Structure 1
Amino acid sequence: MNANAIKPFRVFNGNVNNRASRIFGGEASGICDWDDLKYPALLQLNKEMFSEYWIEDEIRLGDDLKDYRQKLTAKERYVFNVITGYLTQLDSIANRFNFLLGYITTDPSVASCIQLIASFEGLHNRSYQYLTSTMLNDSEKRQAFNAPKELATLKKRNQIIIDKIQETVDYMENVLAGKEEENTEKFYQVLYEGLLAYIILEGLYFSGGFVYFHSLARDNKMIGSNNMINLIKKDETQHNVFYGMVMQILMLENPSLNTDENYEYAVSFVKKCVEAEKEWAAELFSEIDTLSIKEYNDYVEYLANVICRNAGLSDIYTENKEVKSKWIINYGEKNGENRATKADFFETNVINYSHEGGDGFDL
């Protein structure tokens, strides 16, 4: 392993190959040669993400403004406000964390994908602001943007992943600033745990929040808002696939991460986040007729399974391998398309943890 994995990247190094030796802690010239990648699947994923470019102004919200004022109940408006508020919070975190990951990656193709993701997270942030600026008055905006700071159950849910992401940021910042001596083993472990928290942010906390908009659309309300959410959802699905792939590569390049302890940690962490999401949903969606808590909990478990597949884990919730409430697919896909997550970017090979030892992890 490279003993100085967090060193700032060199914009050009003519003494090494264009093809990166590792995605973190390796070497590369800095030239992004898409015909000579260590992981060619990154080119296709880069193209797919780039092809989804859109801007928030494409969505018309005139009818939604009428719906918000005339069709939504007071509780439905409250839920709309709170969800747009915490989605804005999470997107802001995502944007900043992507900046750090793009800074420390060795592989120019990985950096290129991360740059795209960061730009889309910035677009999503603007898009939520577009919803709030169109629909909400000043008092309602304060309610939306203060919710992540004031609501105890929401704060508890978010803090689980924020702490892990911040731990990753703090460690790298301390090493780069010379406040802490780098430990390669600690670096990859901290990165592993931070990435796991991040894909839960993308694949569970984002995607779970989107369901409420689908439920309103099913009730013929807030159609424009749901159309925008579906554009965002398509992006976030791609981001979750990408970072699941990064998790798998990280495990491949660092077999020491492939331990029973890390497998058990990952399963336990996912379950902890799922239970926190269910607790928050029970509070938020009470008195909401368009969405049942049972349906939502089943969908949350399905999302957790998708996250696990992307990251090379086995399904945790065997009762929810597929979406049970088909209306979520019907109202939750761009142009009505069923865009199921791609679970394997390595052709026919799938990375799995070894449940019996630490040496069975390969492609």
Structure 2
Amino acid sequence: MKPFRVFNGEVNNKATKIFKGEASGICDWDDIKYPVMLELNRAMFGEFWIEDEIRLNEDLKHYRHSLTDRERYVYNILTGMLTQLDSVANRFNFLLGYTCTDPSVAANIQLVGAFEGLHARSYQYLTSTMLNAEEKKEAFNAPKELPLLKERNKEIFELIQDFVDDPESMDKLYKALLAYLVLEGIYFTGAFAYFHSLARTNRMIGSNNMINLIKEDEVQHSVLFGTIMQILMLEFPELNTKENMEFTLEFIKRCVEKEKAWAAFIFDGIDNMTINEYSDYVEYLTNVICRNAGIQEVFPENKELRSKWILTYGSKKKKEGGLATRSDFFQTNVINYSHESGDGFDL
């Protein structure tokens, strides 16, 4: 790949295309091709936080004395898995920002990469607080050793690596972005439900607060990359083919089935949520990423999030009018938050 021009005084500041286009290199936010990029930039900066803001003293007590052996195992493995995905995301965004020719889009991609690095550091904070050295080693080796997890991740990593190996190919770029949408919007966000289920039983509240900070970031990232996918279809109509659309829908369906198979293994023996609930949630998340990217919904019958407790425990707490509230990221509602006693779960 040819090195990009850091400055080109012979062309306009406004980019001609987000990839393989021309731009001076000056990022004039008042003169950008897609004004939504400024809105997204402000939104992402508005959510800045660091992991030390979260206190985990009570979580450590819960981890040692209130969680079952299976619940501790799942906590460990999921934090190791999430670290793996964020590590890949960080490196992918670095290359994507390098190849992007629109300074405003590149600025947002680079910001996403920085947040993915923060997320990886945050999982490190969780594991370093709860786990001993042997447990942490097992957790971080799990993505390399557990067959169902390796199988789930294999295809998305292959598509991302194909683009890394050949960043000039627009077809490989499209498929890498598709894989990244799945990584962000399904594999990340789906796993967060486990932490919400623990908070639902008044345990590991600090860990869930951390996850909800990360979750809000990931929702914004999914919107950004869905927007980039739509722009790609607009600027490169040769990618908008029947064959690509068929590949896209089949790829997403395969990823969902692999996620469900992995969930059936990792959540076996977990009483706080059922596999059916999780499967419904994954299908709902799949429709969200499809809408973000302008893709036909894969599960049109699953338009509502059926397990409403995910909204209660899976949103960042905010203060409005002196009341503790939580926002529904997916439906942009605000609902009153009150901690449930644990009775009458709708499992």
Q: TM-score range by the shorter chain?
A: over 0.9
CA RMSD of aligned residues (A): 1.0
Q: What percent identity do the matched residue pairs reach?
A: 65
Correspondence 1:222 to 2:212: no
Task: Name the structure 2 match of 1:234.
Answer: 216
Out of 31, 53, 57, the residue aligned to residue 48 of structure 2 is 53
Aligned residues: 324
CA pair 45-29 structure 1, distance change in 2 beyond 3 A: same
Q: Secondary structure at the match of 1:220?
A: coil
Task: Find the counterpart in structure 1 of residue 335 from structure 2.
Answer: none
State the match for 1:154 in structure 2: 149
2:132 aligned residue: 137
Q: Output the CA distance in 2 between the equivalents of 1:8 and 1:236.
A: 30
* Deviations, residues 60-90 of structure 1 (Å, cap 9, x unaligned): 0000000000000000000000000000000
| Candidates 17, 26, 33, aligned match of 1:38 | 33
Partner of 2:74: 79
Distance 2:170 2:288 in 1: 23
For 2:247 and 2:303, how far apart are their aligned partners in 1?
21
Q: Residue type matched to 1:234 in 2?
A: E
Q: 1:102 offset after TM fit, Å?
A: 0.4
Q: 2:162 aligns with which of 159, 162, 167?
A: 167
* Paired amino acid for 1:249: I
Opposite residue 6 of structure 2, the aligned amino acid is: V
| Long gaps (5+) in structure 2 | 318-325, 333-347
C-alpha separation in 2, matches of 1:143 and 1:265: 35
Task: Find the residue that maps to 1:337 and give its secondary structure.
Answer: strand
Q: Matches of 1:225 and 1:90 in 2, distance apart? A: 18
- Give the one of 14, 22, 26 matched to 2:21: 26
**Counterpart-to-counterpart distance in 2, 1:290 and 1:160:** 30
Aligned partner of residue 306 in structure 2, secondary structure: coil
- TM-superposition CA deviations, 1:72-115 (whole Å, max 9, x none): 00000000000000000000000000000000100000111011
Residue equivalent to 1:350: none
CA distance in 1, matches of 2:221, 2:60: 30
Q: CA deviation at 1:319?
A: 2.2
* 1:104 partner letter: T
> For residue 297 of structure 1, what is the aligned residue in structure 2?
279
CA contact (8 A) 2:18 2:100 kept: yes
Corresponding residue number in structure 1 for 2:330 = 340
User: How far apart, CA to CA, are the structure 2 residues paired with 1:314 and 1:49?
Assistant: 27
- TM-score, normalisation: structure 2: 0.92
- After TM superposition, the score normalised by the length of structure 1 is 0.88
CA contact (8 A) 2:81 2:140 kept: yes
1:358 matched residue in structure 2: none
Give distance in 2, aligned partners of 1:188 and 1:170: 12
The residue type equivalent to 1:330 in the other structure is T
CA contact (8 A) 1:329 1:338 kept: yes
Give 1:320 deviation, angstroms: 1.2
2: CA distance, partners of 1:74 / 1:8: 52
| 1:341 positional shift | 6.7
Pair 1:117-2:107 in alignment: no
- C-alpha distance in 1, partners of 2:302/2:203? 28
Q: Does 1:101 find its partner at 2:96?
A: yes
Kindly indicate whether the alpha-carbon contact (under 8 Å) linking 1:211 and 1:332 is maintained by their aligned counterparts in 2: yes
CA displacement at 1:149 relative to structure 2: 0.6
Map of 1:199 onto structure 2: 181
Partners of 2:36 and 2:211 in 1: CA distance: 27
Whole-Å Cα distance in 1 between the matches of residues 241 and 248 of structure 2? 11
Structure 1 counterpart of 2:302, one-letter code? N
Match of 2:195 in 1: 213
**Alignment of structure 1 residues 173-192 onto 2, 5 Å:** 187-192=169-174
| Amino acid across the alignment from 1:244 | G
| Matched residue type, 1:321 | K
313-322 or 58-67, larger mean C-alpha shift = 313-322
Query: Is the alpha carbon distance of 1:339 and 1:168 closer, same or farther for their aligned partners in structure 2, counting shifts above 3 Å?
Result: same
Cα deviation 1:17-43 (Å, max 9, x = unaligned): 000000000000000000011100000
User: 1:207 & 1:260 partners in 2: Cα distance?
Assistant: 29
1:7 deviation in Å?
Answer: 3.1
Where do 5+ consecutive residues of structure 1 fail to align?
Answer: 1-5, 173-181, 343-363
Residues 258-308 of structure 1 show CA distances to partners (whole Å, capped at 9, x for unaligned) of: 111111110000000000000000000011000100000000000110111
Distance 1:157 1:216, change over 3 A: same
Task: Say if 2:3 is the partner of 1:8.
Answer: yes
Task: Assess if the C-alpha contact under 8 Å between 1:306 and 1:341 holds in 2.
Answer: no
Alignment of 1:281-360 (within 5 A): 281-335=263-317, 336-340=326-330
Whole-Å separation in 2 of the counterparts to 1:314 and 1:322: 16
> CA separation in 2, counterparts of 1:165 and 1:20?
25
How much has 1:8 moved relative to structure 2?
A: 2.4
Higher percent of residues as strand? 2
- Give the Cα–Cα distance (whole angstroms) in 1 for the partners of residues 171 and 331 of structure 2: 26
